[in-house]
Each structure stands twice: as structure tokens, then as C-alpha cells.
């Protein structure tokens, strides 16, 4: 089972792990051990944007930070596929953020469990989530 990290979880795991819930930490450890951790490619773009806009200061450039965050637990990047793109606009998600819609669609397409603090995503009953 794929354990999918949303953007905030990926960032918090790398920079402020104390912000993660105990259930999120357990999921990360289990996924790391099983080699099933993943994130959406859009999360890397979101991180790069946050760094460029000065809203995230990881002490290095965006490319290096993203690579270090992925390498830390062996997280693989899942690409946007035609099925994910189509699903992201078709699902009845009460979330206008395109990145979150893609993350939700990726979770559904891969039958994954999403690790997220985002209450709107956690409230979307079609998604299996952990926090």
C-alpha cells in the first residue's frame, strides 16, 4: 500500500518533525520500512514556489532541498498521468486548490493512504487519510 505524503507532510518531516502527529510518524516509519512512501510531483513544484517566494527557508536551494527531503526516507515521486489529471477535475472535492486536487486524485488512482494535516482532504470521505 502506497503511503502518499502531501506537501506539508513532506516539508514538516524534513524541517519540523515535531509538528507531525504520532499516527503520521508511524505511517512514515512503516512506509519507509516497506519502501512504499511517495509524493506527488506537484508537491515539488509547491515547495519550489514556497522557497522562491520566501515563505519557506530550508537553508538551501529548492532543488537541493527537494532531493534531500525525498532521499531522507526513500520517497518516490508519482507523476501526473492522464487518469490523474482527468480525475482531479471530476471529483467532487470541496477544495479549489489545484495542487490539493491533484494530490487527492493521485491518492485515489493509486489506492493510497494520504498523510495530511489538511482538514478538507481528511473530511473528503473517498480518501483514506492519516493524521
> Looking at 1-131, which runs of residues are DSSP E strands?
3-5, 37-40, 76-78, 113-115, 128-130
Q: How confident is the model at residue 33 (pLDDT cuts 50, 70, 90)?
A: very high
**What's the total number of domains in the chain?**
1
Residue 97 domain boundaries: 3-130
CA gap 49, 110 in Å, rounded: 26
Provide the pLDDT for residue 96. 82
pLDDT band for position 93 (cuts 50, 70, 90) = confident
Q: What is the CATH number of the domain that holds 16?
A: 3.40.50.1010
Query: Side by side, which strands form the sheet with 3-5?
Result: 76-78, 37-40, 3-5, 113-115, 128-130
pLDDT band at 123 (very low <50, low <70, confident <90, very high): very high
All three cell numbers of 9, joined, read: 507532510
| pLDDT score for 74 | 98
Per the CB < 8 A criterion, the answer to whether 9 and 121 are in contact is no
Name the pTM for this structure: 0.95
Amino acid at each position: 500500500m502506497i503511503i502518499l505524503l502531501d506537501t506539508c507532510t513532506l516539508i514538516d518531516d524534513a524541517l519540523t518533525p515535531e509538528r507531525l502527529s504520532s499516527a503520521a510518524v508511524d505511517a512514515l516509519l512503516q512506509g519507509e520500512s516497506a519502501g512504499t512512501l511517495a509524493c506527488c510531483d506537484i508537491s515539488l513544484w509547491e515547495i519550489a514556489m514556497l522557497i522562491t517566494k520566501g515563505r519557506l527557508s530550508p537553508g538551501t536551494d529548492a532543488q537541493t532541498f527537494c532531493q534531500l527531503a525525498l532521499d531522507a526516507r526513500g520517497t518516490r515521486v508519482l507523476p501526473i498521468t492522464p487518469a490523474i489529471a482527468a480525475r482531479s477535475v471530476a471529483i467532487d472535492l470541496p477544495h479549489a486548490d489545484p495542487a490539493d486536487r491533484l494530490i487527492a486524485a493521485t491518492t485515489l488512482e493509486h489506492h493510497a493512504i494520504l498523510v495530511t494535516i489538511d482538514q478538507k482532504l481528511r473530511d473528503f470521505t473517498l480518501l483514506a487519510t492519516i493524521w
